[in-house]
Amino acid sequence: MSDTPQRVVLAYSGGLDTSVILKWLQAEKGCEVVTFTADLGQGEELEPARRKAEMAGVRPEHIFIDDLKEEFVRDYVFPMMRANALYEGLYLLGTSIARPLIAKRQIEIARQVGADAVSHGATGKGNDQVRFELGYYALNPDIKVIAPWREWDLTSRSKLIEYAEAHQIPVAKDKRGEAPFSTDANLLHTSSEGKVLEDPWAEVPDYVFSRTVAPEDAPDTPQYVVIDFERGDAVAVDGAGMSPATLLAHLNDLGRDHGIGRLDLVENRFVGMKSRGMYETPGGTILHIAHRGVEQLTLDRGAAHLKDELAPRYAELVYNGFWFSPEREMLQAAIDASQRQVTGQVRVKLYKGSATVVGRRAATQFNLYSPDIVTFEDDQGAYDQRDAEGFIKLNALRLRLLGRRGRGTD
C-alpha cells in the first residue's frame, strides 16, 4: 500500500475551516475526499454542508450526513452521567464526550468506502486533536491521519480567507471579520473559547451566551420537574416517557428558560496549557443533579463513596480522549454495576440559575432509606442506641493510644 493517502474521510462541518481543509486535501495532498457531517444536536441546518461538498467536487455517494443524536445520548452521554463525571470538579465534558462517537463513525465510513486516511480540523494547540486521533488509532491502528493545522502555513483567519478566495470557496460575510470567539455545540452543551474570553479577569460578555437566559432575567416563579430513573438512566420527565435524545432536549428547554448550566472555567488542557472557556449545559446540569439525588436513596454508602473516588479518574479519561481505553471500560463496568438498583424519582426545583433537588423517592425494593431507623421519635426498637458505645470505642482505640503516648513527634 502506498504511503501517500489516496482517499480520506474528513470530519466536515461546511464552515470556513473545514471547507478550506477539503480543498487543501484535494489540491495539496492529491486525495479524493469523503465528507462526514455528524448531527449531534448542534442546532444548525446541515444540508448546506452537502451543497458545499458537492460544489467542491465531492461525489454525492461520498457525502455522509448522519443523525447520531440518539446514539450520542444513549451510548455516550448517559454512561458518563451514570459516573457523575466532572472534569476538575466542574466541567460536564460536553465537547469531550462527542469526539469518540465522531471518530468511531469516521472509521466506519473509511471501511465502507475503502479510504486509507481520516482527517479533522482540530488545531495543534487543543485537546480535540488528541481525542480524535486516540479514537482513530484505537479503532483502526493502521489508519493514516491528516491533521492540516499541524502541517500547513495557514496560521490565521485572514490567510484562510485568502486561500478560500483563491480557490473559489464561498465565504460568508460574518466570517470575513475577526471572530470574537469560537464555539462548539451539540445536544449536551455549547462551549465558547478564545478572543474576548482570553482574559480570565474579564467577565463573559452577555452576547457570548447562546443557550441560556441570564439568571436575573429568568422567571420569578420557580418551576418543579420530576425525573424518573431506571438503572441509573433518566427515562421520563413529569410522567412522560421519552427517548434519551428527546429527554435531554426537553431538559435543555427547561434549563434554558431558567438560566441553568452556565460555567466560566479556567481548565488544564491535556496538551499542557491552561485555557479559559465558557460552557452552557442546561439539561445536563439538571440531569447530573437529579441523578445524584436518586443515588442518595438507592446507593449503599460504600458504593457511593467509591464512585466518588472513581469519578475524577473517569472524567480525566474522557477529557483526555481515552474513551476506547481498557481502563475507561473497566471503570464503566464498575459504575454500571453500581446502577442496577438506581431506580426512582427525583423532584428538582428550577429557579434563576439553580437546579436543586427538593424531593426524591424510590420503591421499597430499591430504597435504602429507612424512616423507622432514622426517626427522632420512638423507633419501636428498630435501632438500639446502646450499640453506638462499642462502635465509638473501637474507632477511638488508636486515638486513645496516641493520646496516652503524646501526639508530639520529637
Active-site residues: which are they?
A: 17, 99, 128, 182
Q: Do the strands 7-11 and 32-39 form a parallel or antiparallel pair, or are they unpaired?
A: parallel
Q: Do the strands 240-241 and 63-67 form a parallel or antiparallel pair, or are they unpaired?
A: unpaired
Q: Which residue is listed with cell 450526513?
A: 65
Find the DSSP H helices in 28-62. 47-55
- Which residues in 382-391 are b (16+ Cβ under 10 Å) and which e? eeeeeeeeee
Q: Do the strands 190-193 and 182-185 form a parallel or antiparallel pair, or are they unpaired?
A: antiparallel
Decide: residue 269, CB within 10 A, 0-12 exposed, 13-18 middle, 19+ buried.
middle
Give, in order, the Cα–Cα distances in Å from 409 to each of 396, 399, 406: 20, 15, 8
Are 337 and 265 contacting, i.e. CB atoms less than 8 angstroms apart? no
Give, in order, the Cα–Cα distances in Å from 246 to each of 67, 210, 258: 13, 20, 19
Are 281 and 184 contacting, i.e. CB atoms less than 8 angstroms apart? no
Please give the backbone phi and psi of residue 168, each rounded to the nearest 5 degrees, phi first: 55, 40
Please give the backbone phi and psi of residue 353, each rounded to the nearest 5 degrees, phi first: 90, -5
Give, in order, the Cα–Cα distances in Å from 2 to each of 7, 73, 144: 11, 38, 11
Are 35 and 53 contacting, i.e. CB atoms less than 8 angstroms apart? yes
Among 53, 61, 46, 67, CA closest to 21: 53
Residue type, 148: P
